[in-house]
Amino acid sequence: MHIIRKQSPSCLRVCLLAVVIAIATCSVSFQASIAAQDKESYNRSLIEAMYRLDTGYPDKTLAIIHNHLKTNAKDPNLYYLRGRVSLQNRRFDKAIEDFSKSISLNPMHKYAFESRAYCYLQQNKTEQAVADFERVLEIDPLSQELLRPLRTAYIRLGRDKNDHRKLLAKNPLHKAIQLEKAGSNSEAMRIYDDYIAKNPKNFAAFEDRGNLHYYLKNYKKALVDYQTSIALYPMTGRLYFFVANCFRATNDIDKAIANYDMMLLLTPNSLGYMFKYGKVLRDCGKFAKAIPLYDRIIELGEGNADAYRGRGDCYAGLKQYKKAIEDYSNAITMASDPSPDTYRQRALAFEKLGNKEKALRDRNTAKQLSQ
């Protein structure tokens, strides 16, 4: 089973913005009217618009949107983004207008429904909010993050707080997910295939089916589903992570790295993604590129022992043994249960600097910890 879901710019984010402008993604854009050679750059511009919004520059987001509306007025994502700007500015009526326009163009746009629901809550229109939250669950049963506001709204309306379970019981995607959990992958795949044939604009469904393909090691099919999901909605960081994993599984490291970079632009504070990406870079010998990831993790102040260890490995790979020793030492100090392997790595670094006594001491400590 493979079911996964659900500030100010740092130096890493600024660098990644330069990357997103410079590199090509692997997805195609939603609009058939866009020329083939412009599809990737179009998606990148939407990602930049989201980035600008999330980092406090809504005017730049609006500039990108207005430029694209001249030629791509049927793209639901443009209205969704503009609605997000209005929501951020607490202009709820204007936001609702744009989210409704987005929904009219893609009735499966779960983020437009979800955002409109929050607008309705701000206006005390609880019934409308509940209807939109329920629609999100119909589109994507894994949207567990909205259950708390939905249950609160149910109670406000005098309904049972678990009324959403009635919806899930009739939902084919929910059934497919439960079948996956039970190991009935063939039946789950059949349901996904039938559902997607009838609902080809549901980007969440393509993601779910892609996850199952990936679990079954059908990496090419998984890649197609993930890229289709991105084509419909190119602003979800985890989709680029999944695409990158597919390319890594098929040994296309350059495309994997390009998509990991896209992921980080959209999810700059995701420690889990950063750690996994850092390991990929270490494994393929791209130590210099991995170091800023570990810098960022250390800056966030979480997972420092593992981050120091990972960065130490990078410095060792670059033959910067003094820095490696410093990081290994920090990892040992911060770890509640120091790894014997960290001592072994530090011993190697000491040995490279000619300090055989300290190297021997670390090897002995590692041997004791391994017993």
What domains are defined for the chain?
271-371 (1.25.40.10)
Written as six digits, the tokens of 359 are 């190297």
The Cα–Cα gap between 80 and 110 comes to: 10
**For range 69-93, the mean pLDDT:** 97
- Per the model's pLDDT, the better-predicted residue between 262 and 268 turns out to be 262
Helices and strands (H and E) in the chain: how many:
21, 0
First to last CA, the chain: 35
Structure tokens at 47: 């990602």
Instruction: Using the CB atoms, write b or e for 146-163: b if 16+ within 10 Å.
Output: beebbbebbeeeeeeeee
Q: What is the pLDDT of residue 2?
A: 52
pLDDT at 25: 39
pLDDT at 352 over 50: yes
Residue 11 has pLDDT above 70, yes or no: no
Q: Tokens at residue 84, please?
A: 């997000």
Distance CA 281, CA 260 (A): 10
Dihedral in degrees, nearest 10, Cα atoms 331, 334, 338, 341: -10
Q: Are the beta carbons of 326 and 314 closer than 8 angstroms?
A: no
The yes-or-no verdict on residue 19 having pLDDT over 50 is no
Please report which confidence band the pLDDT of residue 303 belongs to, taking 50, 70 and 90 as the band edges. Answer: low
Structure confidence at residue 31 (pLDDT):
42
3-state DSSP call for residue 160? coil
Cβ pair 43, 25 in contact under 8 A: yes
pTM: 0.84
